[in-house]
Amino acid sequence: MAVYTLPPEMMYFFKPNIEFFTEHGPDPDKRKYVDPHEAVRHYIDIDTWGEYPFPHLPRTWIGVMLKYAEINAKFEDTKMTLFSPDINYFSGDTLYGNTVICSFQKYYEFIKDTIAKNILNGEMIFPIDSVSKWLDMDLSMFDGFEIVVEEHFSKEGISPYFLYQYYYALVNAFEKRKPKSIIRRANDIGHYIADASVPLHTTKNYNGQLTGQKGVHAFWENRIPELLADEEFDFFVGKAEYIENIRDFFWNIILKSHSYKDKVLAAEMKVRNSFPDDKKYVFAERNGVVTRLQSEEYTRAFNRELNGMVEKRMRSAIKSLGSIWYTSWIDAGQPDLKDITDISWTKKELEEMKKIKNADKNGTFHGREHWD
């Protein structure tokens, strides 16, 4: 549906590839079975980091690493923390850590040029002399040690940070007029935008597991649209619009989604407590497997209590995706797409796509289950 928000100049490329988007929309989820870093791109437990609207959470990844990265000196079983969120404080142009100080500008350059673009839910190890030079500080007391930089932020999700980064990958694909890169990145960013539009992708209580509501995630995200969307939802959302501030746009999606989180949980609890137990579930086929699912009556009751929230968030995702495609094309200089519509995949590429398609049957899942 996002394709139909685009201007004619983009339709030349996007409309012939609707089938690709239809088939490959789930690819990012399938990659959770082969890439241990994929899952964190689909959510952010933003309530881990304060209270709505989270004014103290940096909106840039560099800002996050400046605030939350941990720098340690390590030798065998001995580890001393030099800089960390619990220790760091600033005074003027100076950063004070644990018994060490350095220029904030030097620290910023180290984080920006060396750490932020490379680290993700892990650690990076450097010789002591290199870090001493980069930070222009005396670390001779740690002779024989290594410097280990760790981040523990990304395990709580990086959705808006990754969306911002991935947007520019799409712009780059348009600039170079590489049709395979355009279609893959346009496809994947649609999945990430859709996930960001789901309230339960923005909270540590992502499946109601903290409030005794396990299973609410799939109830909202899967059962309602699978049962009602094709026949009853309206997905015509108008024309794509140019987005002036990309970072704010992605953050606004996240914050809007999160603002619905409590309503989702309250609605599910109300319907659960008021609906007869013997009418809540049925056994039906889903993806070729007979599964216990919420009954149509129960699902409709939940949807009514939500006042059409799922449809509204799906409409928002469609308009957001079309606008992101359109804006990235504009920002790339509006390249002519007419003569790059014929895409021929190589045998190797087709094999790789087939591998991703079947990854959930052959791989090990890295991420969060939210079906129970």
The pLDDT tens digits of the residues spanning 312-351 come to: 999 999 999 999 999 999 999 999 999 888 888 999 999 9
| Inter-helix orientation angle 296-305/224-232, to 10° | 80
Q: What six digits make up the tokens of 357? A: 């398609």
Using a 10 angstrom Cβ sphere, with 0-12 exposed, 13-18 middle and 19 or more buried, the burial of residue 254 is buried
- What is the residue range of 242's domain? 2-52+157-347
Are residues 336 and 216 part of one domain? yes
Residue 337 corresponds to which tokens in the numbers above? 């797409």
Domain count, the chain: 2
Whether residue 300 is found in the same domain as residue 200: yes
Same domain, 130 and 74: yes
- Token pair 């970072």: residue: 247
Task: Flag whether 226 is in a domain.
Answer: yes
Q: Within a domain: residue 369? A: no
Q: Phi, psi at residue 208, to the nearest 5°? A: 65, 10
- Is residue 103 domain-shared with residue 166, that is, in the same domain? no
Band of residue 215 on the pLDDT scale cut at 50, 70, 90: very high
User: Both 91 and 240 in a single domain?
Assistant: no
| 13 lies in the same domain as 128 | no
- Report whether 175 contacts 332 (CB < 8 A): yes
Whichever domain contains 29, its CATH number is 1.10.575
Q: Mark 269-298 as b/e (b = at least 16 C-beta within 10 Å).
A: bebbeebeeeebeeeeeeeeeeeebbbeeb
Q: Is residue 368 part of a domain?
A: no
In a domain, 213, yes or no: yes
Tell me: the pLDDT tens digits for 227-253?
A: 999 999 999 999 999 999 999 999 999
- The reply to whether 360 falls in a domain is no
Q: How far apart are CA 209 and CA 213, in angstroms?
A: 6
* Residue 197 binned pLDDT confidence (cut-offs 50, 70, 90): very high
Q: Which residue has the tokens 């959705």?
A: 159
- Same-domain pairing of 196 and 109: no
Q: Return the closest-CA partner of residue 292 out of 309, 303, 277.
A: 277
Residues 162, 42 share a domain: yes
User: Do both 121 and 254 map to the same domain?
Assistant: no
Q: 266-303: per-residue pLDDT in tens?
A: 999 999 999 999 999 999 877 778 888 999 999 999 99
Is residue 130 a part of any domain in this protein?
Answer: yes
Residues 79-128: tens digit of each pLDDT:
999 999 989 988 889 999 998 999 999 999 999 999 998 887 678 999 99
Examine the domain organization and report whether 339 and 262 are in the same domain: yes
Residue 97 and residue 134 in one domain: yes
Whether 46 and 75 map to the same domain: the answer is: no
